[in-house]
Structure 1
Amino acid sequence: MTSRAQLSPDHILACVLAGGQSRRMGGGDKTLLDIGSKPMLTYILERLRPQTNQIVLNANGDPERFTQYDLPVVSDTIDGFAGPLAGILAGLTYARTHCPDVTHVVSVAGDTPFFPQDLIARLTAPIPDKKPVIALATSHERLHPVFGLWPVELLDDLERWLASGKSGKVLAWVDRHDSIEVAFPDDPETGLDPFFNANRPEDLDVARSALEKASA
């Protein structure tokens, strides 16, 4: 499989997935909870903005609560909180509608503040030139399907998949297509798995401790 020259940032849209119901955190927008001195979403965007020129936020409900971030907010187009695939579909749909030069969407979880600062460069590097291929992140031999590179070319297939009531699990749909895995080391600043996610209140404490250690 021959790789293309690395995709230009102009061809990539990053989509932060914050459309879940945060049940294990007690509901609400966990991405807006403070870790350290700032909301988790602020840390996420500080890592993401140097990597790409275009970012959207996938979130449901009133978009006004994210006004301070000055980002387009796109809601799921599939009813019923269909999970990360619904957010990925929302990002792909936005790209096709508003960003004609974008060929790929990179998804980033809204509860993972220490994801790699070279995430996009490394996900895009091995993508072949001739066919749509999905790239998924791994660490410690574990797959993280919410962190992926998604060809806009696959939008229609994903839309049909979800509209027909098929599984909302990311890997169930990924298995229909060619995909590759890209391994990442631990975050050098915090020492944590780069895809550590804050699902529960105690995870926020871990994130805060890691930030304190990194800034000491």
Structure 2
Amino acid sequence: MSLPPAVILAGGLSSRMGGGDKGLLAPGGRSLIDRVIGRIAPQAGALALNANGDAARFEAFGLPVIADSMAGHPGPLAGVLAAMDWAARAGQESVVTVAADTPFFPPDLVARLQRAAAEAGTPLALAATPRPGGGLSRHPTFGLWHTGLRDDLRAALEDGLRKVVLWTDAQGCATASFDVTSFDPFFNVNTPDDMAEAERMIAEFGL
């Protein structure tokens, strides 16, 4: 399969970290965004960053910065829509999204999302991990999105939809399940305590 483009979602408000750009935090002396770029670049084609406000603060990463097309910070689906629009303008049929605050995601994320979608015969796929009590916990910012669905998503957002899985379930969405072994590959940094845990994981697992 060819490598799809990918967009790093960094448009959140970071309220639990006191505001600012979580992606610029640097556990282990390396920013979260730089770590995410290192993970996704070998798996994808063109890369872009979804963020709002002054794009100059991300200049060091050398990526195009695309803002949400909908005002009011309507959540991660707005970033997904921005990613779909960006990829569609480049003539791409699909795009992958990853979160800027989740630096340890699997190195085979994209291949397994593509395989899950192909096997299920669906245009979308989300990553998931097993819940301790059974079932799967989906990670809706880690997905493969068909750009042909962008107008449907835009209409859903304009109608007030905010929960990612409500929209993906309505479209028929595949799931790519990833095991949790020595650490959770979808651990994300939301709070100062999470930053401390990220530092510990980097030291312990050589991430």
User: Structures share a fold, TM > 0.5?
Assistant: yes
The residue correspondences of 1:146-185 to structure 2 (distance < 5 A) are 146-164=141-159, 166-185=160-179
The residue correspondences of 1:196-211 to structure 2 (distance < 5 A) are 196-211=187-202
Per-residue CA deviation, residues 61-94 of structure 1 (Å, 9 max, x unaligned), is 0000000111010000011001010000000011
- Structure 2 distance, partners of 1:21, 1:35, is 19
Where does structure 1 lack aligned partners over 5 or more consecutive residues?
Answer: 1-6
C-alpha displacement at 1:128, in angstroms? 3.2
Whether the aligned pair in 2 keeps the contact of 1:60 and 1:76 (CA below 8 Å) is yes
Whether the aligned pair in 2 keeps the contact of 1:132 and 1:153 (CA below 8 Å) is no
Task: Specify which structure has the higher proportion of helix.
Answer: 2
Q: Give TM-score scaled by structure 2 length.
A: 0.93
Per-residue CA deviation, residues 167-196 of structure 1 (Å, 9 max, x unaligned), is 211012112211111111236xxx221110
Per-residue CA deviation, residues 18-70 of structure 1 (Å, 9 max, x unaligned), is 00000001100001001101111111111111111211100000000000111
The residue correspondences of 1:188-203 to structure 2 (distance < 5 A) are 191-203=182-194
The residue correspondences of 1:39-78 to structure 2 (distance < 5 A) are 39-78=31-70
1:18 paired with 2:13, answer no
- Structure 2 distance, partners of 1:179, 1:130, is 8
C-alpha displacement at 1:131, in angstroms? 6.1
1:95 paired with 2:90, answer no
1:123 paired with 2:113, answer yes
Cα RMSD, aligned residues only:
1.7
Deviation above 4 Å: which 4+ runs of structure 1?
A: 129-132
1:8 paired with 2:2, answer yes
C-alpha displacement at 1:126, in angstroms? 2.8
Where does structure 2 lack aligned partners over 5 or more consecutive residues?
Answer: 131-135
Other structure's SS at 1:142 match: strand
- Structure 2 distance, partners of 1:129, 1:185, is 19
C-alpha displacement at 1:130, in angstroms? 10
C-alpha displacement at 1:132, in angstroms? 4.8
Identity percentage of aligned residues: 42
Q: Give TM-score scaled by structure 1 length.
A: 0.89
**Matched residue type, 1:203:** D
Task: Pick the aligned partner of 1:37 from 29, 33, 49.
Answer: 29
- Structure 1 distance, partners of 2:161, 2:44, is 30
